Copies of this chain bind each other. A is one copy, B any other.
Amino acid sequence: MKKKSRLSVESYIEGVLKGDRMVLSRAITLVESSLLSDQLLAEKVMEGVLPYSGKSIRIGVTGVPGVGKSTFIESFGKILLDKGYKLAVLAIDPSSPKSGGSILGDKTRMEELSADKRAYIRPSPAGASLGGVSARTRESMILCEAAGHDVILIETVGVGQSEIAVKGMVDFFLLLMLAGAGDELQGIKKGIIEMCDALIINKADGENVEAAKRAKREYANALHLFPAKESGWVPQVKTCSALEKSGLEAAWEMIIEFKDKMTANGYLEFNRQEQRANWMQEHVRYLIENNFLHNPKVKSRMGEILPGIKSGKYSAIAKARELVDLFLINR
């Protein structure tokens, strides 16, 4: 029954390239499917659209919950639409395996963007493994590009592994912060600041304007302490108010400047090449794991040893090696 609802490879490709939102959504759903038949179909679709991808600027947006990411994306996104860009917003939210995450809920808050046909908004399913989600997000991004979206915003949350995943698939990585939210220079991981191409202090409005300016100076000083980036880009610190829609034009100009410079010096393409290589590696990992879990010998032996593993009678790492040997050597 499930297969019946699938389109042909050609229909997916044609629909996506025409910018048909319904087909784009169905193609992303296909790509997210864990059924082997869907995956094989998805691979063909991806091969078909790949030559038409890559023409967007890919922007990662991160920041702790409460920093105003959704409002930023809504306001920033509308400016981009007004400039004539086609926008796609993808979200990665790996950190809430239980409740399904907060980003999905946030999406409903991007009311104006959601209502605009030039914007396409797609949250990734929470609860999937990080590798899984990030791999699918890459593919979703390619599909959105093939459908004509020329600005891709990939939103993530928290300070941790998901930032690394998003950094690994975008051109420009943007960290949103708040002024006066505790200890300015200790309150955020050095590693995340090091990864970002721009740090924007949001909610620079009302009584908060002065604090935001102060925070901007502090961060700008702090950024000087980091080693120069491989890209040659000097990370910028800016303020904005997503609510009052101030500072957003400047943010976009900065991203354009980044794109121009990085295109000229070759870093944009160099970085994307590295990202494509990593993408393949992550997918390899995903495929092998699937194979392992469905291997009959492994399944059978796993059933025998699992009680002893659970009780602590067997060593988990020794038995892991036994299973891997069974999978790889005594096939």
List chain A positions with a Cβ less than 8 A from chain B.
Answer: 42-43, 46-47, 50, 53-54, 64-66, 94-99, 101-102, 130, 135, 138-139, 157-164, 178, 181-183, 186-192, 194-195, 272-274, 276-277, 279-281, 283-289, 291-292, 306, 309-312, 315-321, 323-324, 327-328, 331
A274 and B188 in contact (CB under 8 A), knowing A43-B317, A161-B160? no
Asked whether A315 lies within 8 Å of B43 as measured between CB atoms, the reply is yes
Task: Tell me the bound Cα distance from A96 to B187 in angstroms.
Answer: 14
Q: How far is the CB of A327 from chain B (nearest CB, A)?
A: 7
Which listed residue (B97, B183, B273) contacts A191, Cβ 8 A? B97
Q: How far is the CB of A178 from chain B (nearest CB, A)?
A: 7
Q: Is the CB of B324 within 8 A of A288?
A: yes
* Copies of the chain in the assembly: 2
Contacts of A316 in B (CB 8 A): 138, 276, 279-280, 283
Is A189's CB under 8 angstroms from B96's CB?
yes
Cβ contacts under 8 Å, A291 to chain B: 324, 328
Min CB distance A173 to B, Å, is 12
Residues of B within 8 A of A182 (CB): 66, 178, 181-182
Q: How far is the CB of A127 from chain B (nearest CB, A)?
A: 10
Is the beta-carbon distance between A97 and B64 smaller than 8 angstroms?
no
The majority secondary structure among interface residues of chain A is helix
Known A-B contacts A54-B312, A164-B97, A187-B66; A287 and B321 likewise in contact (beta carbons under 8 Å): yes
Q: Is the CB of B284 within 8 A of A191?
A: no
Output the least CB separation between A107 and chain B (Å).
15
Taking a contact as CB atoms under 8 Å apart, the answer to whether B164 and A287 are in contact is no
- Minimum distance in angstroms from A163 CB to a CB of chain B: 7
Complex Cα distance, B324 from A43, in Å, reads: 14
Assess whether A96 is in contact with B191, with CB atoms less than 8 Å apart.
yes
From residue A73, how far is it (CB to closest CB) to chain B in Å? 16
Among A159, A194, A277, max chain B CB count under 10 A is at A159
Contact A194 B99 (CB under 8 A): yes
A302 to chain B, nearest CB (A): 9
Q: Once bound together, how far apart are the Cα atoms of A182 and B203, in whole Å? A: 12
Q: How far is the CA of A331 from the CA of B321 in the complex (A)?
A: 19
A284–B312 alpha-carbon span in the complex (Å): 17
Across the interface, A317 reaches (CB within 8 A) one of B46, B96, B99, B312, namely: B46
Given contacts A191-B98, A312-B50, A317-B46, contact A328 B288 (CB under 8 A): yes
Contact A280 B328 (CB under 8 A): no
Contact of A158 with B189 at beta-carbon distance under 8 Å, contacts A312-B276, A318-B46 already known: yes
Closest to A320 in B: B283
Q: Is the CB of B43 within 8 A of A327?
A: no
Instruction: Find the B residue at minimum CB distance from A186.
Output: B66
Residues in B with CB closer than 8 Å to A65 are 159, 186-189
Given contacts A65-B189, A287-B321, 18 further A-B contacts (CB under 8 A): A43-B318, A43-B321, A46-B317, A66-B182, A95-B164, A139-B317, A158-B189, A159-B160, A273-B311, A273-B312, A276-B310, A276-B312, A280-B317, A285-B285, A288-B288, A288-B289, A288-B324, A291-B328
Contact A96 B181 (CB under 8 A): no
17 contacts between A and B (CB under 8 A): A43-B321, A46-B317, A46-B318, A64-B159, A65-B186, A65-B187, A95-B192, A98-B195, A139-B317, A159-B159, A160-B160, A160-B161, A161-B161, A273-B311, A274-B310, A280-B309, A284-B292
